[in-house]
Amino acid sequence: MAAQATGEEPDRQTTEATPEEELSFEEAYRRLEAAVAALEGGEATLEESLRLLEEGIRMSRICQARLDRAQARLEQLVEQDGVVTAEPFDLGPGGTEAGM
């Protein structure tokens, strides 16, 4: 049990050291991949599998939010009457493609 608690401690420290709101897309994606790999490994207990699933869902949502923000910052070049101008990128209904 002590070894198991010690094995879990670094994960908790990493999670606590970087609040999820501050995670970059790359870090959230890395954590999502790690959770998926651990689940696919099939060695996790039921409790650990549930924790990994919850972590994966949180990281997936963070990744989607970062992608939505990046897409909103994009501009599209529009040509009208021979003049090219930059306009904000239209995300479509609901402000996100996920809502389509």
What's the rounded Cα separation, in Å, for the pair 38 and 52? 8
CATH code for the structural domain at 2-74? 1.10.287
Average pLDDT, the chain: 77
Report, as an integer, the average pLDDT of 19-44.
94
Supply the pTM of this predicted model.
Answer: 0.59
Distant-in-sequence, close-in-space partners of 72: CB < 8 Å, separation ≥ 6 = 88, 89, 91, 95
What's the rounded Cα separation, in Å, for the pair 36 and 40? 6
- Taking 90 as the threshold, does the pLDDT of residue 89 lie above it? no
What SS3 state is found at 81? coil
User: Can you spell out the DSSP letters for 38-75?
Assistant: HHHHT-S-HHHHHHHHHHHHHHHHHHHHHHHHHHHH-E
What's the rounded Cα separation, in Å, for the pair 32 and 67? 15
pLDDT score for 91: 64
- 46-69 pLDDT tens trace: 999 999 999 999 999 999 999 988
pLDDT score for 51: 98
Domain ranges of the chain: 2-74
The amino acid sitting at 7 is G
Give the pair of three-digit tokens for residue 83.
């003049």
* pLDDT category of residue 14 using cuts at 50, 70 and 90: very low
- Taking 50 as the threshold, does the pLDDT of residue 71 lie above it? yes
